[in-house]
Structure 1
Amino acid sequence: MIIGNGFDLAHDLKTRFSDFADHLIENEIVLGLENIVRNAEKSNGLFKRDFIDQILKKTVSEVDLDNYMDVIWWEILQNRPEKVVQYLKEKPSEIQQFISNSLLGKLYDSQYLNWFDIENAYFSELVSFKNEAIKKGIKFDTTNLKKLNEEFAEIKTLLSKYLNSIEITKSPNVQSFFEKHLVNVKNVYIVNFNYTNTIEPYLESFGNGLKYKLNYMHGSLADDDIIFGYGNDKNSDYEEIKELEIDEFLTYFKTFEYQRDSNYNQIYESALESFNVYQILVLGHSLGTTDKTLLAELFNSNRCNRVHLFKRKDLEGDPEKVSQEFIKRNYAASRIFVNEEKLRRKLTNFKDSSFFPE
């Protein structure tokens, strides 16, 4: 069983990167801005030094509400921080002008293919540095590359803090799904790509002699040691990055992050090599390229005879969207299977697929 973020979303948990982006505005950025404007705080690592200097010099006589800095200063001065939250959510690109973390600023400025897709955005930055390094050779300066890694680490810390604040709830619909789909199943190996423990309340109810093992593939919030980075080591850019022999490029590749613990090896020892044949239930995983390497090993094994994708229950009222989303997941799966023949043979078709949750 593969658990992805859609599993948390089925519990109405706000675990999307976009939810994290809103949280940062509401609970980190605006609170920090209030401390600067109201308390004349002269130092805050979240913001650019020159921005702090300028906003502290603001006076009522020079307010221009067409200027982002003046809007922030004025609304906070009028004790209306909720207006600043609204303003920054409506114009997130303004954040890039004053946030010190340039990667975070670019994420808010929508400079990447998918808005606030942190891991893919990080990889895009690495590719840019890789191209620069190839061009400059030994003259390439790693200063900005190291800064990128520091910024990514800061975002990782903020994300972990946010996810720890979310209260886990149990869903009767998810419970019904397990009761239906785990009938007559004797062994389940759960690969949880989430950091949250949303799956755990259901484990006790598996019962009936069913044996299970749970693997927090990317670490858990409880252990305060999450794996966050890029996981497609079959990408041609990755091969070129390795050839550069500059270690800072590899800091947050999941291939090397997996070496920190035994979770990756346990998948082989307790699943791939212990089951003579197995089926995969994909619950809420997008099958994106950030986890492609591991997913390919699971999907393409000769011991895997079926991969079950599920229709999205939240779209049930719109059959066209249900179909579109299912097809998109098929496209994503096609990038994981080594060929279309395996895809056609192993992947459950739309008509025979159930909804998740029930």
Structure 2
Amino acid sequence: MNILIVGNGFDLSHYLPTKYDHFMVAMGAIENWDENKGEMGFDDLFSSLYEKENYFFKYTKAMYQTDEIKISIDQIKDLQEKLKENVWYQYFAEHVREVKTWIDFEQKIEEALSYVSKLFSKIEEVYSKRNTLLLEIKALEFNKFDKDSEHIYLNERLCQALLKIGLIKKQFYTIKTSEDGERKIVHTSQENEYFHYSINKDYVKDHTRYDIYNSDFCIFVLNNKLSELIDIFNFYLMLVDRFESKELINPISVEFKKVYSFNYTRTFKKFYKLDEIEFLHGSSGNTQNIVLGISDLGNDILKKHKAYGFTKYHQKLFKNTHYLFLSEDIDRIKKSVIKKKELEKYIESSIPKNSHEVDLKRSELSQIILTIGGKISIYIWGHSLDSSDASYIKEIFSFNNEIVDHHCDVTVFFFNNQAKFDLLNNLLHILGSELVEKWMKKGWLKFEPNPNILEINNIQPVDLPTFKK
């Protein structure tokens, strides 16, 4: 039985713009679009990448009817408002150069949440000594040892991150000098070079002689904003799913019985007409259930405030995408192999060779062998094999153990030698060198270049339009 496991690289192999960069560039183009120009087309979304990713988009345009991709003025206005108000989008737009892949995206969420937990910790420290919270945040200087216990001290990097996700604000001020020479700070709503960071008062509830910082409400808001960003991402993926191929895409040489997809798009189903597909992290569409988050909560403060909505496992359970993956196949084979061995031993040692019972038991044995089936061949195409999906990867390599022996082969497709290097690195990190070496020495695990969709379908590139900078 052939099983295919696909990740984002599968879509990229079909020249669909589903990289993190593609999404952010398209959203940036929408955010800055002048509505007087009318609706947006494919070139309006991606032309800024045509020089950097010339090779990729030449084939995207060759394979798909990109001229039919349009975004209406009403959709643009709606998205512009959503992008402006979404703190997570603004946070990622600020760090766009640091984030190159969807794995980096997840790690950046994790980093932001660690900053949130540090702020919560500092606030709790202040409340242990005072009844009220001073909103002004002091800059943390390495040579300043006389910090008071009334203020919260944070470094600039942490302040910048918290500013983008809306937990702190900039409080601008001017310095005025009175007639007698006294300098006075006057707060203003007008932006200028003078400011200090201040805790967002929306999360502070005032009471008589004391106040409370509502950390749980803060987590609630950030969780909702992540859900809204997922909705924006879903709009983009639905746009990608509208890409219609100019010609029928020919299938690769291997025929698959089942596909497990870590993607959200319906690329395989659309091009290769297989219905036996399970979307392990949800799928895009009008009833999307996309899973986009972190592997686990990094510290006790986040756990205390039940920030589980940011984790993949919470989202998978909540959105009903928590599939069994390969466990049913593994359990079925293990049980059948054990039963087969027990029956073979019984036939060999406990039944007279010419008795009628031998024929019955051998018939039973034949049925067990049919239940076990042939070897399972697993193909992995476009998945990074990163530790964020370690549980799935361990499940794949739980075949071929001391009970089942050799019953599974794994082929990992790679884009180039650097990708092969990284894939092997990730497997060694998750599984350990002993298991990986064993699988490779026995020929159970092998690496092969990605199937070349361009050659299979004899696709020729087209010229990209040029635009004035």
| CA–CA separation in structure 2 for the residues paired with 1:146 and 1:189 | 38
Note the alpha carbon deviations across 1:38-63, whole angstroms, 9 max, x for none. 7xxxxxxxxxxxxxxxxxxxxxxxxx
* Partner SS state of residue 163, structure 1: helix
Q: Higher strand proportion, which one? A: 2
Taking the TM superposition and a 5 Å limit, the aligned residue runs for 1:135-146 are 135-137=122-124, 141-142=214-215, 143-146=217-220
* Partner SS state of residue 221, structure 1: coil
| CA–CA separation in structure 1 for the residues paired with 2:243 and 2:265 | 8
Note the alpha carbon deviations across 1:1-29, whole angstroms, 9 max, x for none. 211011111111111111111111223x1
| CA–CA separation in structure 2 for the residues paired with 1:226 and 1:198 | 17
Q: % of aligned pairs identical?
A: 17
Task: Report whether the alignment pairs 1:246 with 2:305.
Answer: yes
Taking the TM superposition and a 5 Å limit, the aligned residue runs for 1:270-285 are 270-276=328-334, 278-285=376-383
How many Å apart are 1:285 and its aligned residue? 0.9
Taking the TM superposition and a 5 Å limit, the aligned residue runs for 1:77-226 are 99-110=84-95, 113-115=98-100, 117=102, 118-137=105-124, 141-142=214-215, 143-166=217-240, 167-168=242-243, 175-177=250-252, 179=253, 181-182=254-255, 188-201=257-270, 203-204=272-273, 213-222=276-285, 224-226=287-289
| CA–CA separation in structure 1 for the residues paired with 2:320 and 2:331 | 15
Q: Determine which structure has more spread, i.e. the larger CA radius of gyration.
A: 2
Counterpart in the other structure of 1:19: 22
How many Å apart are 1:84 and its aligned residue? 12
Question: Which residue identity does 1:191 align to in structure 2?
Answer: Y
Counterpart in the other structure of 2:348: none
Q: Higher helix proportion, which one? A: 1
Taking the TM superposition and a 5 Å limit, the aligned residue runs for 1:34-53 are 34=34
Counterpart in the other structure of 1:229: 292
Alignment RMSD, CA only? 4.0
- Matched-pair contact (CA < 8 Å) for 1:174–1:356: no
| CA–CA separation in structure 1 for the residues paired with 2:304 and 2:86 | 26
Note the alpha carbon deviations across 1:308-340, whole angstroms, 9 max, x for none. 21232xxxxxxxxx2222101111222332x21
| CA–CA separation in structure 2 for the residues paired with 1:287 and 1:125 | 24
Task: Report whether the alignment pairs 1:290 with 2:292.
Answer: no
For normalisation by structure 1, the TM-score amounts to 0.63
- Matched-pair contact (CA < 8 Å) for 2:107–2:294: no
Deviates more, 1:15-24 or 1:131-140: 131-140
Structure 1 stretches of at least 4 aligned residues deviating more than 6 Å after TM superposition: 82-90, 170-174
Question: Which residue identity does 2:258 align to in structure 1?
Answer: Y
How many Å apart are 1:289 and its aligned residue? 3.6
| CA–CA separation in structure 1 for the residues paired with 2:331 and 2:320 | 15
| CA–CA separation in structure 2 for the residues paired with 1:88 and 1:282 | 28
Q: Does the C-alpha gap of structure 1 residues 264 and 222 become closer, same or farther in structure 2, counting only changes over 3 Å?
A: same
Q: Does the C-alpha gap of structure 1 residues 295 and 168 become closer, same or farther in structure 2, counting only changes over 3 Å?
A: farther
Aligned residues, how many? 277
- Matched-pair contact (CA < 8 Å) for 1:102–1:151: yes
Unaligned stretches of 5+ in structure 1? 39-75, 77-81, 207-211, 313-321
Counterpart in the other structure of 2:422: 328
| CA–CA separation in structure 2 for the residues paired with 1:156 and 1:336 | 28
Counterpart in the other structure of 1:6: 9
| CA–CA separation in structure 2 for the residues paired with 1:240 and 1:327 | 32
Question: Which residue identity does 2:389 align to in structure 1?
Answer: D
* Partner SS state of residue 219, structure 1: coil
| CA–CA separation in structure 1 for the residues paired with 2:378 and 2:290 | 23
Q: Does the C-alpha gap of structure 1 residues 346 and 87 become closer, same or farther in structure 2, counting only changes over 3 Å?
A: closer
Unaligned stretches of 5+ in structure 2? 38-42, 52-79, 128-212, 335-374, 453-469
- Matched-pair contact (CA < 8 Å) for 1:3–1:282: yes
Task: Report whether the alignment pairs 1:310 with 2:312.
Answer: no
How many Å apart are 1:149 and its aligned residue? 1.9
Counterpart in the other structure of 1:316: none
Q: Does the C-alpha gap of structure 1 residues 25 and 175 become closer, same or farther in structure 2, counting only changes over 3 Å?
A: same
